[in-house]
Amino acid sequence: MNDDTAPGDSPASTWKDKLTALFSQDPQNRSDLLTLLNDAGLRGIIDHEALSIIEGAVQVADMQVREIMIPRSQMVCVDEDQEPRDFLPKVIESAHSRFPVIGDTKDEIIGILLAKDLLPLILQNGKFNIKDHLRPATFIPESKRLNVLLKEFRTNRNHMAIVIDEFGGVAGLVTIEDVLEQIVGDIEDEHDVDEDSFIKPVEEQARTFIVKALTPIDDFNEHFESRFSDEEFDTIGGIVLQEFGHMPKRNEFVEINGFRFDVLNSDGRRIRLLRVSSI
């Protein structure tokens, strides 16, 4: 029996008592709340996985779409005048479920094509008209906060939105999975096996990149032509964490070997996402 549970006490009542004692002094701000939650984790009132999810849910209220979107240069699109034989190889190779359909340029999004809507092609003998299968595209600004976007995704049952910059051009896209990963961590499927790392350019900022903290140091060095040692750590996140000397919060930054590392996302156990720029 757990030493904290007296005879006759149920686990549920003990857990409730612990939480009541923990919040006996109301937190005055978000920082106080996170401190209390971390204290609950240390006491074993909340397990580490639950704590990570709670912290992620709190953090999305401070995050904007521009921080997690897939940039315009990496969008996998289908041209409106393409025949299935032309775009199907791209659909199969990318393994995505939704594709923006464009006109002359990526700034002209005419709709969203769902991969599942292509299944009738197996039995269809007539001419395929892509416009007959398009879903309306949802457009959002780069500055939209993730908690608001998630609520809109749930309300409207959309899974993808096109991100627009301040000049009205397409800056990228974001999916509901991108938002959920900020709360629960990476959502892996059979297509994510070889995608444990990535480095994405921030198009509107020269020499600035969004980098996953799990990016291997060798990959980071190769991309940035840097010389970080991999003797002590395997990932760039490990080097950044060592330099901080503590678990950093969002918007904290550190400068190492000519690079500035801004923390975009972290939880109580690890750094998840970094913005890297040359200095």
Domain membership of residue 206 as a residue range: 196-278
Instruction: Determine, yes or no, domain membership for 124.
Output: yes
How far is residue 81's CA from residue 79's CA, in Å, rounded to a whole number?
Answer: 5
- With a cut of 50, which residues of the chain have pLDDT below it? 1-6, 8, 188-196
Do 76 and 148 belong together in one domain? yes
**In-domain check, residue 246:** yes
How confident is the model at residue 4, as a pLDDT?
A: 47
Say yes or no: 88 and 164 in one domain.
Answer: yes
pTM above 0.75, yes or no: no
The pair of structure tokens assigned to 18 is 């612990």
Place of tokens 């190779």: 93
Specify if 38 maps to a domain: no
Q: Does residue 138 share a domain with residue 75?
A: yes
Residues 79, 157 within the same domain: yes
In a domain, 15, yes or no: no
Task: Give the model confidence (pLDDT) of 153-203 as tens digits.
Answer: 999 888 999 999 888 899 999 999 888 888 876 554 433 434 445 788 876
Residues 256 and 222 in one domain: yes
